[in-house]
Chain A
Amino acid sequence: NAGVTQTPKFRVLKTGQSMTLLCAQDMNHEYMYWYRQDPGMGLRLIHYSVGEGTTAKGEVPDGYNVSRLKKQNFLLGLESAAPSQTSVYFCASSYTPIEGDTQYFGPGTRLTVL
Chain B
Amino acid sequence: GENVEQHPSTLSVQEGDSAVIKCTYSDSASNYFPWYKQELGKRPQLIIDIRSNVGEKKDQRIAVTLNKTAKHFSLHITETQPEDSAVYFCAASNAGYSTLTFGKGTMLLVSP
Contacts and interface: CB of A to CB of B under 8 A. Distances in A.
Interface in A23-51: 31, 33, 40-45, 48, 50
A31 B32 CA distance: 16
Interface string A78-114: 0000000000001000110000011111111000000
A90 B105 contact: no
Given A101-B93, A102-B49, A50 B98 contact: yes
Interface stretch (B39-47, B56-64, B74-82): B39-47
B89 interface: yes
A107 B43 contact: yes
B95 A105 contact: no
B49 A45 contact: no
Interface string B63-100: 00000000000000000000000000100010100111
A48 B44 contact: no
Contacts of B103: 42
A58 B43 contact: no
Contact of A101 (B1, B6, B32, B45): B32
B43 A48 contact: no
A45 B42 CA distance: 18
Contacts of B43: 90, 105-108
Interface of B: 1, 6, 9, 32, 34, 42-46, 49, 89, 93, 95, 98-105
24 contacts: A31-B98, A33-B99, A40-B9, A40-B104, A42-B103, A43-B89, A43-B102, A45-B99, A50-B98, A58-B99, A59-B1, A59-B101, A90-B44, A94-B98, A95-B98, A102-B34, A102-B46, A103-B34, A103-B46, A103-B100, A104-B46, A105-B45, A107-B42, A108-B43
Given A41-B104, A43-B102, 16 more contacts: A33-B99, A40-B9, A42-B102, A43-B44, A43-B89, A45-B101, A48-B98, A58-B99, A90-B44, A102-B34, A103-B34, A103-B46, A104-B46, A106-B43, A107-B42, A107-B43
